[in-house]
């Protein structure tokens, strides 16, 4: 995954988390007013500690919102800088649809990466360049042959024709010693060639691991996204039940706050699971150097 993709995903996550924190403030404020005037215990007495506990939670939530907004502002500026804009950038909304199945297997993806992966193509080109430079330096040990030809004419006029002479020369030069400069250049070229070959071999050995990590990461993210959606539904239902029980005086404020915290964590986990799926897909596409899905999928993801 490149840095711009991570920045776009981080921007989207911070927007989601900031919105969730803003939404969580409203129920706290309503319950403060409820606890101050109408919340009754089973014995019928007003619980003053509920109001204080809710006020403490609101203050914590406001602090978290301020931190998220600050991080979001910095992330937007970073995104704008990375895409070449002078102002802050804004990421497209994260795709709410489930990520599709990959159109190729791990073996096919690994084979394509080894054959046409951009990084491997680049390191192979660097190796060929280093080998060519080494061949040039090696050729300095061979004799050089020069073929020359000349034609001369003499006369008292501007276009001479009185006397004409022509000559052909053939010269063979054998290099013997040039103060070690030839050997030094050859050693440098040989070292550069060895380094380029080692880098190419290292990238080829690491290609299987890189593709397996990205491919399995995408599959894991799809499963995590499904589980996160179930977790949000379960946490939302638990929060609804705890809210109803609290209004009836059948539970404490701590149970209600615990349910709300669990709901917020489940929603944050869902956002992060969506980002992980998009990030893994972007990493696979970066390794292969092409899009795995068409424009229709991309347009649907941006809506």
How large is the C-alpha radius of gyration of the chain? 36
Is the model more confident about 133 or about 275? Answer: 133
Residue matched to tokens 């054959």: 115
- Pairing state between β 144-154 and 163-173: antiparallel
Is the model more confident about 288 or about 35? Answer: 288
Give the tokens for residue 17. 């988390």
- Position 35 pLDDT exceeds 50: no
Is the model more confident about 43 or about 164? Answer: 164
Residue matched to tokens 């609290």: 246
pLDDT confidence of residue 94: 64
Give the tokens for residue 130. 């280093």
pLDDT confidence of residue 295: 54
- Position 189 pLDDT exceeds 70: yes
Instruction: Name the range with the highest mean pLDDT among 6-10, 45-49, 106-110.
Output: 106-110
pLDDT in tens, 216-270: 999 999 999 999 999 999 999 999 998 898 888 888 878 888 888 899 889 889 9
Round to whole Å and give the CA distance between 28 and 62.
11
- Position 111 pLDDT exceeds 70: yes
Round to whole Å and give the CA distance between 162 and 144.
37
Residue matched to tokens 């920045």: 7
Round to whole Å and give the CA distance between 89 and 73.
10
Helices marked H in 83-173: 106-116, 118-139
The percent of residues in the chain predicted with pLDDT above 90, rounded, is 33
Q: Average pLDDT, stretch 84-94?
A: 74
Reported in sequence order, the residue ranges of 191-254 that DSSP labels E, i.e. its strands, are none
**Residues 25/61, Cβ–Cβ less than 8 Å:** yes
Q: In which band, very low, low, confident or very high, does the pLDDT at 299 lie, cut at 50, 70 and 90?
A: very low
Is the model more confident about 115 or about 91? Answer: 115
| DSSP at 150 | E
pLDDT confidence of residue 288: 92
pLDDT confidence of residue 40: 41
Q: In which band, very low, low, confident or very high, does the pLDDT at 283 lie, cut at 50, 70 and 90?
A: very high
Round to whole Å and give the CA distance between 192 and 195.
5
Q: Average pLDDT, stretch 28-50?
A: 47
Is the model more confident about 50 or about 218? Answer: 218
pLDDT confidence of residue 79: 79
State residue 148 phi and psi, 5-degree precision: -125, 155
Q: Average pLDDT, stretch 16-29?
A: 55
**Residues 79/7, Cβ–Cβ less than 8 Å:** yes
């Amino acid at each position: 995954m490149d840095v711009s993709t991570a920045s776009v995903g981080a921007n989207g996550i911070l927007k989601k988390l900031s919105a969730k924190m803003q939404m969580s403030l409203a129920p706290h404020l309503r319950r403060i007013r409820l606890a101050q005037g109408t919340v009754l215990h089973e014995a019928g007495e007003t619980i003053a500690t509920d109001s204080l506990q809710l006020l403490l939670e609101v203050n914590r939530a406001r602090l978290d919102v301020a931190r998220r907004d600050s991080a979001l502002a910095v992330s937007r500026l970073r995104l704008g800088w990375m895409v070449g804009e002078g102002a802050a950038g804004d990421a497209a909304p994260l795709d709410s649809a489930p990520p599709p199945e990959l159109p190729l297997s791990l073996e096919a993806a690994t084979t394509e990466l080894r054959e046409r992966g951009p990084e491997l193509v680049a390191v192979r080109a660097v190796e060929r360049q280093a080998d060519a430079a080494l061949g040039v330096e090696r050729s300095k040990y061979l004799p050089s042959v020069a073929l020359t030809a000349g034609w001369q004419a003499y006369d008292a006029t501007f276009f001479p024709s009185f006397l004409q002479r022509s000559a052909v020369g053939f010269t063979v030069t054998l290099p013997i010693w040039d103060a070690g400069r030839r050997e030094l250049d050859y050693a440098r070229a040989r070292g550069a060639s060895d380094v380029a070959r080692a880098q190419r071999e290292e990238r080829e050995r690491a290609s299987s691991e890189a593709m397996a990590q990205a491919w399995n990461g995408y599959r894991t993210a799809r499963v995590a996204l499904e589980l996160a959606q179930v977790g949000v539904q379960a946490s939302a239902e638990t929060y609804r039940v705890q809210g109803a029980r609290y209004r009836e005086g059948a539970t404490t404020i701590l149970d209600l706050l615990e349910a709300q915290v669990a709901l917020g964590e489940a929603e944050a986990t869902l956002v992060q699971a969506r980002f992980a799926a998009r990030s893994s897909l972007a990493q696979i596409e970066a390794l292969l150097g092409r899009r795995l899905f068409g424009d229709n999928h991309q347009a649907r993801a941006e809506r």
